[in-house]
Structure 1
């Protein structure tokens, strides 16, 4: 081969190597859009912690949280491909997968987030002691578009109450507006769910303190008999200030869902990064201690709804067969 030929081969090899490196970067440096909810609620807090931990664990992934209107907006945004992953509460997830009130979705589960036992919070000096005491009163049921008002609607229906007829229902533009409304008397109570929920924390740590109101044992049985997808859940004692006893209620698991066509390789990398740093996420956010591979398998409505890339990782670590 003459010199010109040798030079030509060398150029081809170098250009091929550069192209391969560019291709590898295109595959492995991946930006992921994450839909959360309105400021002041639990989803943005979780979403930010989720993104920080995974971004630190895998520099080739860049998760970018975005505030949205919450679960009811996140589902259509995922369907349209406008988001890669998003946080969705348990009740809208169930309705969407089951095709209740809409065509069934074809989205996938990336991970279970945390369980969400629902309850009301009132000022410590308020006269309200049980759920029926709140009938006819102004109650903030959460942000418009979030999953919280859907959970409360199911819970109240189970004990024979209608949310928009038996209460002066308030739906918030921003989740963070609820505590102030209870403190200044515009609302008798605020509805919320879960451990570490910002609205509960704000009221529980306010100067006057707060009390929680949840369904009693008989009401829990009635709710579960009518709405079997709701699960008995407990808020452990001392989850909030001046809450010495555990609080039994009902609720469901919230999920991180993915768009239908999120590549298997990306879902696998997300799952591997996330579950490889479960302890770090737990340290950053107490409620995220429930974000585990085992809980995802247990909480999924059906195993086939979990993303195939995630299931590949779960089989590798022995969580799935």
Structure 2
């Protein structure tokens, strides 16, 4: 199925049922407030921080919108919640979002979702104890690895990196033991690496991720390069994967470490009203510094960056916003 066919299917299937009951309260002549639930991620994680900051920014904006952050396992879980109508908005990593739109595993069919903006880039971290035996992805063969929480985007990129290395699924090029992937979220992954119950952890998030920065102050860590896997991932899946660099200085690194970048999308059901989307994007672009401050250092949100959502179509309200503001 092509992306155009997916878009047509989405437009035909989108209804108003997901917004039943979304109009909450009334404040005299000010009109009703549109209540939009935003699927974020686990408490303490970057998606949750972004969602809380967005809710506060929208509340202070004067727009008749209320954002209600919902804690989740993150990307894959969020996309399923969008599909079943239990939320109206969500954050998701670009690779998981494209899988949903195209009906690729783990989604059994194309999922009718849209993007509002590509808001920032996740950096894939592969972290091991500096005095441990793991010095490359290949060294993970047969070893316990914290692979991201079930239903998270971290789990998606971890599985794909390990598969490209021949450590998950069909071994390539020679039979070797698969990595022992353990479905752990960030907090549990950090604890497991600290305690030695896993030999490595994967994480995909902003730089610096506070939990990893704290761990680096507790014990010597090694951050392994993953940039050699960008090409194979792009070839097999999509150009959503890019080469990025963990800069020297962050986490105590003495030199840069090349790794895999994956965009993060602010997403919505197609039946969210266009006016609400336009108001929401005004807040996002007015307050992007505040929204990204606790998520990733040094990031900027620019229109040419925001509209780059690959196979995931922009919501009609987002299209109208970008055209009205940027031409």
Same fold at TM > 0.5: yes
Selected match of 1:258 from 268, 271, 282: 268
Q: Distance in 2 between matches of 1:95 and 1:302?
A: 9
Q: Residues 302 and 315 (structure 1 numbering): CA distance in 2 closer, same or farther, change over 3 Å? A: farther
Q: Is 1:188 equivalent to 2:196 in the alignment? A: no
Deviation (angstroms), 1:171: 0.5
Whichever of the two has the greater Rg, that structure is 1
TM-score (norm 1): 0.82
TM-score, normalised on structure 2? 0.81
Superposed CA RMSD:
2.5
Displacement of 1:228 in angstroms is 3.7
- Contact kept in structure 2, 1:114 and 1:287, CA below 8 Å: no
Maintained 8 Å contact 1:204/1:211 = no
Structure 1 residues not aligned, in runs of 5+: 1-19
Indicate conservation of the 8 Å contact 1:42/1:198, yes or no.
Answer: no
Q: 1:93-242 maps to which residues of 2 (within 5 A)?
A: 93-101=97-105, 102-162=108-168, 166-172=178-184, 174-194=185-205, 195-205=207-217, 207-217=218-228, 219-238=229-248, 240-242=250-252
- Which protein has the bigger helix share? 1
CA contact (8 A) 1:111 1:291 kept: no
| Cα deviation, residue 49, structure 1 | 2.3
Residue in 1 aligned with 2:306? Answer: 296
The whole-number CA distance in structure 2 between the counterparts of 1:163 and 1:91 is: 19
State the 1:198 CA deviation.
4.2
Structure 2 distance, partners of 1:48, 1:143, is: 21
Distance 2:322 2:126 in 1: 37
Alpha-carbon shift at residue 230 of structure 1 (Å): 4.1
| 1:38 aligned to which of 30, 38, 42 | 42
The match for 2:5 is none
1:248 aligns with 2:258: yes
SS at match of 2:183: strand
2:82 corresponding residue in structure 1: 78
CA distance in 1, matches of 2:298, 2:74: 18
Cα offset, 1:93, TM superposition: 0.5
In 1, Cα distance between equivalents of 2:285 and 2:77: 27
